[in-house]
Structure 1
């Protein structure tokens, strides 16, 4: 039985896949905390699709697709910030415009200039076929993004919760957002290889949502999100070996299950706890106490 459970560790490609998925799960979960707190979830969705034209152009020019995807994501992020800044359009309208335009451009480029990689590979990921150079690139992006997020943590929290105070102490909201979206673009690029362009959205939303239900403190929230993202990514890639399927769907399903459990059983914000509190409140309600007493003038 033990030999069967340890079977995935006998293959180097599975060890690499589990390490990569775990790293991607951790860094996506850290970003997820801030995306959920600031209602930026749609931005993660938009950028995950906006990298598609960059992938197509990179393959067409015989460049590593990570380069094209990164620059495509950066352009999309800057476009969203710029259009939102100079126009009166709401943020969700701008995100929808950029998301659909970039994704349509990517599909058009793939149709006009066919590439060796299929659109399904872009959507589902290629974690089992990552070579040594790509493995090093992912490691560099992971550690660099993690270091920048630790450095940016306080300023980002200040911008999210009190932009007026951030401006008063000299923290540029625009610079902080652009740096955060740059990191987000880089992380989405490495996540493409693990889970693909579609499922990366879940990695950027679900861990932060789970942590949001479990904690009200930003530090603990980020820790819980990273723990959720890392463990679900590891076990998702591990179980995918026995199921003989792509790692991405299994990872997302595990995260979805964790979210359902948090949604129902979270100590403070869970559905079950809310029902119990409501029942107690109804139980302590005494109609006579609200009828008032006789008062004399």
Structure 2
């Protein structure tokens, strides 16, 4: 029992655990749509593109969440603009925008006096979160989760059949823009937990794990959110007892969940697919 209670005697561990769970659960929800819509690369683009906004916000004394959100939306607009006004493919536009903005952020960091503090934005510093950071993550997370759940049917139809969604009167352009805005907001929510480099894992792995395990989208939402929160708990405790990176521990816990689902998922797991593809023996045919 001491294994679980001793870390919680420290206030910074309490903050870290609550922030990690809140950010992971929200990322788990959004990751379901990103996986189904093939937007995983877009998640990576937004996560990396917010770096200059964070640096500029820090330099001018503004809230880092504001700078991150502004540059996240700027990345979305630039990608859409290049995609709509050129013959380049979507993934090419994403690559051009996010690498350019990420490089701009690195240059700004190199010219900022307090480089050490800003390194936490790249790699995360969940153990350094304050009670104020917790309130910010909770507020942004609740807002994102509320919109996702309130419009889940519209977003789900958009993911599965965009043409049908348009034919029944849904504004697919508005829904896509709203989902991308929530992606930017969710990235800001998870920024303090994992940092820019690892946040993309939180936006992909929980949804991929749930996709392998679930038959319905409702189940997928629940499994992705719960598994992401569980991985956050395991990662925070592992970082305390093993003295290792907290962000890395959380992502490795998610990766372990995905590996188990990839191999052992009843319908979509590797073993299940191999079993179904194997020819039946005479004894199996008699038994069936």
How many residue pairs match? The answer is 282
- How many angstroms apart in 1 are the aligned matches of 2:281 and 2:93? 48
- Does the CA-based 8 Å contact 1:124-1:197 persist in structure 2? yes
Q: Report the Cα offset of residue 82 of structure 1.
A: 2.9
Deviations 1:226-246 (A, max 9, x none): 111111112211221111223
Residue 114 of structure 1: how far off its partner (Å): 3.6
Is the partner of 2:54 in helix, strand or coil?
helix
Q: Secondary structure at the match of 1:56?
A: helix
Deviations 1:176-211 (Å, cap 9, x if unpaired)? 111111111111112110011111111111111111
Separation (CA, whole Å) in 1 of partners of 2:248 and 2:170 = 39
**Cα deviation, residue 170, structure 1:** 1.7
Report the TM-score when normalising by structure 2. 0.93
- What residue in structure 2 maps to residue 153 of structure 1? 152
| Secondary structure, counterpart of 2:170 in structure 1 | coil
Q: Provide the rounded CA distance (Å) in 2 between the counterparts of 1:104 and 1:71.
A: 17
TM-superposed CA distance for 1:275, in Å, is: 1.3
Query: 2:140 corresponds to which residue?
Result: 141
Partner of residue 287, structure 1: none
- Bigger Cα displacement from structure 2, 117-126 vs 230-239: 117-126
* Equivalent pair of 1:78/1:178 in contact (CA under 8 Å): no
Q: Could you say which residue in structure 2 is the equivalent of 1:213?
A: 212
Q: Distance in 1 between matches of 2:259 and 2:221?
A: 19
The question of 1:183 aligning with 2:188 is answered no
8 Å Cα contact 1:44/1:204 also seen in 2: yes
Corresponding position of 1:202: 201
User: Where do 1:214-253 residues align within 5 Å?
Assistant: 214-253=213-252
- 2:38 matched to which residue of 1? 39
CA–CA separation in structure 2 for the residues paired with 1:183 and 1:259: 24
Aligned equivalent of 1:258: 257
Change (3 A) 1:210 1:113: same
2:12, 2:130 within 8 Å by CA — same for their partners in 1? no
Listed as ranges, the gaps of 5+ residues in structure 1 are 285-297
1:163 to partner: Cα distance: 1.3
User: How much does 1:277 deviate?
Assistant: 1.3
- For the residue of structure 2 that corresponds to 1:211, the secondary structure is helix
What are structure 2's unaligned runs of at least 5 residues?
283-288
Matched residues in 2 for 1:5 and 1:230: separation?
16
SS at 1:252 equivalent: helix
Q: Give, in angstroms, the shift of residue 282 of structure 1.
A: 5.4
Q: Does 1:92 align with 2:57?
A: no
Between the aligned partners of 2:158 and 2:273, the Cα distance in structure 1 is 31
Mapped contact 1:124–1:246 kept (Cα < 8 A): no
Deviations 1:74-111, CA, capped at 9 Å, x for gaps:
11112222322333322111111111111011112222
| Residue equivalent to 2:267 | 268
SS, match of residue 105 in structure 1: helix
Aligned to 2:163: 164
In the TM superposition, what whole-angstrom CA distance separates every residue of 1:36-55 from its partner, at most 9, and x where no partner exists? 11110001111110010001
Counterparts of 1:18 and 1:69, CA distance in 2: 23
| Maintained 8 Å contact 2:120/2:195 | yes
In the aligned structure 2, how far is the partner of 1:262 from the partner of 1:6?
A: 30
Please give the root-mean-square deviation of Cα atoms over the aligned residues, in Å. Answer: 1.5
**TM-score, normalised on structure 1?**
0.90
Larger mean CA deviation between 233-242 and 49-58 belongs to 233-242
Whether 1:81 and 2:80 are equivalent positions in the alignment is yes
